[in-house]
Structure 1
Amino acid sequence: MSTVSACLTCGACCASYRVSFYWGEATGAPNGYVPSELTENFHPHLLCMQGTNQAEPRCVALEGEIGQRVGCRIYADRPSPCREFAAGDEEANPYCDKARAKYGLAPLIPVKNVA
């Protein structure tokens, strides 16, 4: 059984949802870590990743082709919504399934459900 996350070939969530988070996570704040130059203002206290607040979202940090091979340029410094988003192969996540369906990808089966 492979231990490689499906996220390395998917990327659908990064091109399906707005990634908004508290401004204090950005490098412009004293303890921030998300590169401020990759964010935009969304609300007085929230930022979002550039490209995700569009009718057809795609995070500026996403590299590669969805469903083939993808990666996040700022993975170690990604914002909290990305850290908290469970891939469908980790646990059941209807938002993962919905994003994958948008790109013609089958839902993932959580590894813990595989015999």
Structure 2
Amino acid sequence: MSNANPCLTCGACCAHFRVSFFWGECQSAGGTVPDEQVVLITPHRVAMRGTEYKPTRCVALLGEVGDVVRCTLYEQRASPCREFEASWVDGQHNPRCDEARKAHGLPPLTPPIQPSLSPDRVA
């Protein structure tokens, strides 16, 4: 059984949702997100370039959605990216993950198969 991160063969969320966040996460304000990678949305909010309009695709996404992808700003990514989890990564379903995958013609992720323990087995 593989424990590979499903995000490395997906990227649908990066090419479906607007990634907006407080401007204080930008490097010029002491944060980590490079200023040149964002656009101003409101006086206090920015969005990752490419996610401010449809069709959406974050400029930091490298690769083909549904195949092999990676974030070129992974260590510097914004809080919405850090907080977004693929379905079932921590045992929790994420309907927004399903939504993004569906928008790109990908099936929803499924929970990992749990081995069944026989009631006759003594630990």
Measured against the shorter chain, the TM-score band is over 0.9
Would you say how many aligned residue pairs link Structure 1 and Structure 2?
112
TM-score w.r.t. the length of structure 2 is: 0.88
**In the alignment, is residue 61 of structure 1 matched against residue 70 of structure 2?**
no
Residue in 2 that maps onto 1:85: 84
Amino acid at match of 1:87: A
What is the distance in 1 between the residues matched to 2:50 and 2:93? Answer: 26
Residue in 1 that maps onto 2:7: 7
**In the alignment, is residue 95 of structure 1 matched against residue 96 of structure 2?**
yes
Residues 86-105 of structure 1, C-alpha deviations (whole Å, 9 max, x = no match): 11131210110010011111
Residue in 1 that maps onto 2:74: 75
What are the ranges of 5 or more consecutive residues in structure 2 without an aligned counterpart?
115-123
What are the ranges of 5 or more consecutive residues in structure 1 without an aligned counterpart?
none
What is the aligned-residue RMSD (CA, Å)? 0.9
Amino acid at match of 2:21: F
Amino acid at match of 2:74: Y
Residue 28 of structure 1: SS of its match in structure 2?
helix
| Runs of 4+ that moved beyond 2 A | none
What is the distance in 1 between the residues matched to 2:33 and 2:46? Answer: 10
User: Structure 1 89/5 Cα, relative in aligned 2: closer, same or farther at 3 Å?
Assistant: farther
Residue in 1 that maps onto 2:120: none
How far the C-alpha of 1:74 sits from its partner, in A, is: 0.3
What is the distance in 1 between the residues matched to 2:106 and 2:43? Answer: 36
Query: Does structure 2 conserve the Cα–Cα contact (< 8 Å) formed by 1:5 and 1:89?
Result: no
What is the distance in 2 between the residues matched to 1:74 and 1:100? Answer: 21
Give aligned-pair identity as a percent: 52
> Mean Cα displacement is larger for which, 86-95 or 12-21?
86-95
